[in-house]
Each structure stands twice: as C-alpha cells, then as structure tokens.
Amino acid sequence: MTGKPRRIEANLEYLRKLFIMPDSPDKFIEFGNELLEMIHDFFQEKGGIHSAITLPELSRIFDRTSVPEGPHLIKDVLGEIKSKVIDHSVKVGSPHYIGHMTSAIPYFMILLEMIIAALNQNQVKIETAKASSFVERELIAWMHRLVFCRTDRFYEKNIQNPRVALGNVTSDGTLANFTAFLVAREKAFPPDGDFPGLRVAGVGRALRHYGYTRGVVLVSARGHYSIRKAANLLGLGEENVITVPVDGQNRMDIKKLERRVRRLQEGRDGERSKIIAVVGIAGTTETGNIDDLEAVGGIAAEAGAHFHVDACWGGSALLVEEYRHLFRGIERADSVSIDAHKLLYCPMSMGVVLFRNERDLNTIRHSSRYIIRRNSVDTGRFTVEGSRPFASLKPWAALKIIGREGYGLLFRHAKETTDAFREMLETCGNFEILNHPELFILNYRFIPAEVRDRLGAWLDERAGAKERNRARELEGRIKKVNTIVNALNVKLHKALRTDDTTFVSRTTLESTRYRPQSIVVLRAVLINPLTDRTALDTVMATQNRLGLELWPEFRTAYVRMAGSEGGEA
Ligand SMILES: Cc1ncc(COP(=O)(O)O)c(C=O)c1O
C-alpha cells in the first residue's frame, strides 16, 4: 500500500487496544503476515543496491517539520514504511555488496528480533529482566572462555556470581572499547591515601596526585577511530592517543612500539606520561590483520599498562580452531572487545567487552536507590549504559543454531572467497593487490596492466639504483603516477556508486609497498556466505569495465608525466 496514511479520530479505546494482544491471533497474524511479506519482498527484489532515489529526493520525502497530530491506521503506516523506507534501503545482504562489515544475516535473526521486542526486557535490572539476565551472563561466560581459557572452576564459580561481572554486553564495539578504557583509566589512578580515585576526583586531580602531566593510550596506525572517541569522552584528549606505525602487513611495528614506550617513560617529549593502556588489534578495520598480541601484551605488562585487545572485527574467529593461533597472546589481555554484528552474523547491533580479571568491572560499579541497589543482583551495576535490550539473545541462539562447527564452515567460505577474489583480480591484470589479510578484507586498486608493470619496474630499479639522482627521479615518477592512479580510483569508486549493481568501499593506506605515499584502495569485505564466484566475477567485471572507460581521462596526464619511460600506456 502506498499513499498518505489516513488520519483517524483520537480515541482512548482504540489506543488501549494497541497495547493488548488480541484475544484471537487473527489480527496480530494479519499484520505480522503483511510485515513478513514486506520483508520478504525486500529480499526478493532485484535492481540497484542503494535504490535509484537521490539524497535530495529522500530529504524531500522526509521533510515534515512537526510531529503528527492525530493517530493513523497501522496498515497505512506499514504501507508508508514500505514505500518510503524499505524500498530505499541499502541491500547489505546482496551477494554483490561486499563493501562493509555489515552483511547478510540468517533469516532466523529477524524472528529473534521479534521475540526481543515482544518480551521487551530491560537488562538494567532483574526486576525487568529475569531469565534474560542469566542468558546474558551465560553468553558472556562462553565468550570469556573462548578468549581467556580460564579453568572450569573459574567459570563454575563466576558464571552467575552476582558479585562480579566477567564482561558487559554493549550497544556496539565503540561502547565496548569505551568501557575497557574507562576501567583502564580507573585502574591507572586508583584511590591512594586521601586521594579517592579518579572516578571521584576527576582527571586533573588524578594526574596531579600521581605526578603526571597526561595519560596516554598507544595503538597502531590502523586503530579504529572509536579509540580516539573514547579518549575524548574520558577527558584524556584525542591527541593523547599515540599511534605507532605498522609494518608491511599492517601490524603494529613492535620495535617502534618499544621505542615509543621508552621515550614516554623517559619523558623525552617534555611530558610526564602515564601509559594507561596499550591496544592490540585483532582484525584491523581497513585491512583485516592481527597484531602480534604476544609481543604487544609483553610490552604493555612491562610498562605496567592495561592491555586491551580490540577484537571487534576478528574476535569471533576464536570459535574456530584453525584461526586460534593468529590470536596467540590474547589470553594475556586485561580486556577484549568483540562485536556480534560482525563475524557472528547478528543484526545491528551488539558488542561485548570481556575482562580477564572478574573483579575489574567493580572499579566502575555504581548503584542507585530505586534500582541497581548496592546489594542487588542487577546487571546494570556494572555497565556504562542504563536501559539495554535483550540483544544477547541473538548471539546466544546463533551459537546454538550454527555452532562452532557451523561458524568454522562460514569462515572457511569467507577465506576461500577472499582467496578466489584475489586470484581473479591478479589474473585480470588491471588490478593490483595491496594487502595480505588474515581475516577476509582485501585492499586493491584498478590500474591498467601496462601502468602497473611500469610502476613495478621502477620500484625494482629504485631498489637497486646506485646513483642517488636516478633513485630520486624514479621516486618522483612513482609518486606522480600514484597520484594519477589515486584520482582514477576515487572516480571509479564514484562510478561504481552510480552504476549501483555492485558495491565495495574505499579507503586510503600509507602502509602499502609505496609507503609512505598514501594510496587510494578499494576495500572488499568478503564474509557473505551467498557471495560466490559468479558474484565475484560480476563485481570484478564491472570495476574493470568502468575503470577502462575512465582511464582515457587520466592517460594523457600519465603519458605526459612518464614521457619516454611510460611505455605503451
Ligand atoms: C576494529 C574495530 N574496532 C571497533 C569498531 C567499532 O565498532 P562499532 O561500529 O560496532 O561501534 C570497529 C567497527 O568497524 C572495528 O572494526
């Protein structure tokens, strides 16, 4: 149904009925069926990934500046949702949509969302969340065990022990990371004599009491921006998130980390810095790589800093034996964050943050007189968030329905898809692969074969060049060609959006073989179990076709620049 929803007379009897489950299931099922049909249609529909509607057109559809006065029929509003919202939503579940971590979800998740809404539990307190509080704690214990592998006795004692919390379920990875840094900050500036601890006294007094001028967090250049947000919110300051360069595999450069820590400890930058946390990344957002967690953890321990592992992207791979070696050292972390809406294939959104020490969350424990009383068993005593949905039902059920073996098969498919796409791009010739992912994210760019070969030859020659002038000249040429190819890939990415039959994302990396020059790369996240070779073929063919169509626009600049050394571009 389309058109404007019909306004009806405001009437309390009608409104009260909206809150009561009908005696006969017919009415409920009638709307339910309509809704399920709408959802089903959305998945069946062919056509563009983003819908053809423009953003200005959308802003004209949603331009009502005041709240509706009267009630409207549910049926009409559902129709409006269909024509205005569903029809113009992004088909993130499409096998041709391989641009972001947001991907296809199993259909049973939609039904679980209905249960969550129907029960409407509020996880903040036991008075509004009975069995669901226990489900959440069980899920947290499962995830904790995957990461920290503590003893049977430890889990038996703590799984449902209301005096401690092994972790928190959060809205997302950003809040999971935030919670980890909040705890790290409290632990860095604990109560001491008449100093009541940072949470009471604030950052300024805490620094003065302990004789520091700032608190810092160290993370690699691939760190997610949520870490800077946390530093901002925690009053540490974004500039005090210190980024350590990465190696050619996009992993934190351990030597540089060691040097940075030493510099900080010796106060060589004129500051007295407290290292609050060192962060390892287990699945970098842009490139899908995992830091050497053993080494990063060792340095954090020596520095007396909290060791946090941001495993929002990759942490769920711990479910599968063949991936566990990549995470060696994660069990030494003080805290680990993992997103369920990434590799657990849950819908938006849910994160978890886990603490090795079951008492760590007590540093941020709070209470109130009307709920989360001091001696209550309420989950909300340990969380940053207040009211929270029963989101944990989704991963809890998914881990049963799919199981560790099932996730193993899904990740194997993701790995095979990543390898297959790499091979296809390499075979085509007009693409260059620019990363070596461990976890399903491929960075590459469109570059006509002859330009790619020319750049390769220049790179080789530069590496062996004896004359400094020749090396410098080659360096200049490489830079200029890359600048042209960067512009080409930005334009190609825009053309892909217009074409709208396939989708990959785009980022800029300083860590490719052209380092330190920043290179524009296309980014494919290859986790959708429905993405097969045929879909990959379409994605690649579209990019190749559009790239070749755009190339003449850039070729003149390339030929002018490369001159006689440009070859037959
Ligand atoms: C490594 C990493 N950390 C943190 C986050 C933030 O997660 P969210 O978007 O759930 O807040 C992301 C998101 O992509 C991520 O990849």
Render each residue's pLDDT in the chain as its tens digit; 569 residues.
457 888 888 899 988 988 888 777 887 888 888 888 888 888 888 778 998 899 999 999 999 999 999 999 988 998 999 999 999 999 999 999 999 999 999 999 999 999 999 999 999 999 999 999 999 999 999 999 999 999 999 999 999 999 999 999 999 999 999 999 999 999 999 999 999 999 999 999 999 999 999 999 999 999 999 999 999 999 999 999 999 999 999 999 999 999 999 999 999 999 999 999 999 999 999 999 999 999 999 999 999 999 999 999 999 999 999 999 999 999 999 999 999 999 999 999 999 999 999 999 999 999 888 877 888 999 999 999 999 999 999 999 999 999 999 999 999 999 999 999 999 999 999 999 999 999 999 999 999 999 999 999 999 999 999 999 999 999 999 999 999 999 999 999 999 999 999 999 999 999 999 999 999 999 999 999 999 999 999 999 999 999 999 999 999 999 998 775 655 44
The finding on whether 174 has its CB within 6 A of some atom of ligand 1 is yes
pLDDT at 565: 61
Q: Are 29 and 36 in contact (CB under 8 A)?
A: no
What percent of the chain is helix, strand and coil (3-state, nearest 5)?
Answer: 50, 10, 35
Structural domain spans, the chain: 1-87, 122-401, 405-566
Dihedral Cα 481, 483, 489, 494, nearest 10 deg: -140
Q: How far is the CA of 513 from the centre of ligand 1 (A)?
A: 26
pLDDT at 2: 52
The finding on whether 173 has its CB within 6 A of some atom of ligand 1 is yes
The finding on whether 477 has its CB within 6 A of some atom of ligand 1 is no
The finding on whether 313 has its CB within 6 A of some atom of ligand 1 is yes
Q: Work out whether strand 431-433 and strand 351-355 pair parallel, antiparallel, or are unpaired.
A: unpaired
Q: Are 129 and 386 in contact (CB under 8 A)?
A: no
CA 190 – CA 213 distance, rounded (Å): 17
Q: Are 454 and 567 in contact (CB under 8 A)?
A: yes
CA 307 – CA 301 distance, rounded (Å): 7
173-188 and 226-233 helices, crossing angle to 10°: 50
> Residue 301: what residue type?
A
The finding on whether 291 has its CB within 6 A of some atom of ligand 1 is no
CA 6 – CA 367 distance, rounded (Å): 47
Class of domain 122-401: alpha beta
Write down the CATH number for the domain with range 405-566: 3.90.1150.170
pLDDT at 100: 97
Number of helical (H) and strand (E) elements in the chain, helices listed first: 19, 11
pLDDT at 38: 86
Q: Are 296 and 254 in contact (CB under 8 A)?
A: yes
533-562 and 468-499 helices, crossing angle to 10°: 140
Measured in degrees and rounded to the nearest 5, phi and psi for residue 497 equal -65, -40
The tokens of 556 are what? 């003149």
SS3 31: helix
- Substitution site in 217, 285, 344, 348 for ligand 1 pocket (most atoms within 8 Å of beta carbon): 285
CA 316 – CA 339 distance, rounded (Å): 8
pLDDT at 44: 85
393-401 and 131-148 helices, crossing angle to 10°: 60
Can you tell me which residue has the tokens 């993992």? 338
Contacts of 48 (CB under 8 A, 6+ apart): 500, 501
**Ligand 1 atom nearest 175 alpha carbon:** 11
Give, rounded to a whole angstrom, the gap between the first and last alpha carbons of the chain: 55
For residue 153, give the H/E element and its range: helix 152-158
Q: Are 547 and 488 in contact (CB under 8 A)?
A: yes
Closest residue by Cα to residue 167 from 151, 146, 185? 146
The finding on whether 280 has its CB within 6 A of some atom of ligand 1 is no
